Structure 1
Amino acid sequence: MIKEYEHHAQYYETDQMGCVHHSNFIRWMEEARIDMMEQMGCGYRAMEHAGIMSPVLEVRCQYRNMVHFDDRIRIRVSIKAYNAIRMTLEYEMRDAASGKLMASGESSHCFLNREGRPISLKRIHPQWDEAFIQAMEQLK
């Protein structure tokens, strides 16, 4: 069972208006993605040791409500699309206390070898391919 990621907003993440600067939401999405993949058994460190990279192809974020210092944000990651070569993830960032939607986003990634060429996890690492398929079903 993959658990949601929780981020505790830090003072240094805030801007002059006293709310968390918008760029931090993208960082939080990355934190949640890395946590999800660790829970799946195919974390970034393991992938990189296996010669597999997963760069960001595209990222977007919709800001709905301000987040302030000391807020706790729960981030739910779901796999929107996966085909062993590319994946698209969706994120919901909610206030941990109220459940209020603070932001939502999406990121797209691919899988590359060390030379920067696309690879298929299904062929190169079938157990990780299976983990992504299972997570996609679980996180719907």
Structure 2
Amino acid sequence: MANFKEISFHVRYAETDQMKYVYYGNYAQYLEMGRVAWLRDLGVSYRTMEENGVMLPVVSMHIDFKKPALYDDLLTVQTSLKKVPFVKIEFDYKIYNEKKELLVTANTVLAFIDMKTNRPTACPNYVLEKINNLIQF
């Protein structure tokens, strides 16, 4: 497995504003789709983490908009892990259109939170093992 995962989808009409551009707030969902697919490809799911008492809220998000995405554009979200996680996990993203034009660069940081104490906790060992076994930094 490479350190990145790509997913592609078409922009739905409901995701656009009056100018037919993707509304900026929808990009957070696109980033979530990318990281969920990245984790799923690794063999980890949010559901499994939550069943094991760990939640993963976003603690920071940074987005740089380069060009707008439009209704019906085929977008590709490229998601990569920035570094091996400890208490936080950090992802970088690039979003391209079908012409391979870079539309967005972004970064999110999520914290591993113990659901019983609502306090930060270390990345679960089963997640670290999968990352260490499959990712080359």
Write out aligned runs for 1:26-45 (5 A).
26-45=28-47
Deviation at 1:126, TM superposition (A): 1.9
Instruction: Decide which of 23, 26, 30 is 1:24's aligned counterpart.
Output: 26
Q: Match of 1:69?
A: 71
Deviation at 1:117, TM superposition (A): 1.5
Q: Match of 2:88?
A: 86
Query: Which has a greater percent of strand?
Result: 2
Q: Match of 1:99?
A: 100
Q: Match of 1:108?
A: 109
Secondary structure, in 3 states, of the residue corresponding to 1:4?
strand
**Structure 1: which amino acid aligns with 2:76?**
R
Q: TM-score, normalised by structure 1?
A: 0.88
Distance 2:132 2:74 in 1: 30
Residues 110, 37 of structure 1: CA spacing in aligned structure 2 closer, same or farther, 3 A cutoff? same
Residues 88, 135 of structure 1: CA spacing in aligned structure 2 closer, same or farther, 3 A cutoff? farther
Q: Structure 1: give runs of 5+ residues left out of the alignment.
A: none
- CA RMSD in angstroms comes to 1.6
Deviation at 1:135, TM superposition (A): 5.3
Residues 104, 136 of structure 1: CA spacing in aligned structure 2 closer, same or farther, 3 A cutoff? farther
Q: Structure 2: give runs of 5+ residues left out of the alignment.
A: none
1:74-118 deviation per Cα after TM superposition (whole angstroms, max 9, x unaligned): 1111111333211111000011x2111011100001101112122
**Structure 2: which amino acid aligns with 1:34?**
V
Secondary structure, in 3 states, of the residue corresponding to 2:40?
helix
Aligned-pair identity in percent equals: 25
Moved over 4 A (4+): none
Secondary structure, in 3 states, of the residue corresponding to 1:81?
coil
Q: Match of 1:132?
A: 131
Distance 1:129 1:102 in 2: 31
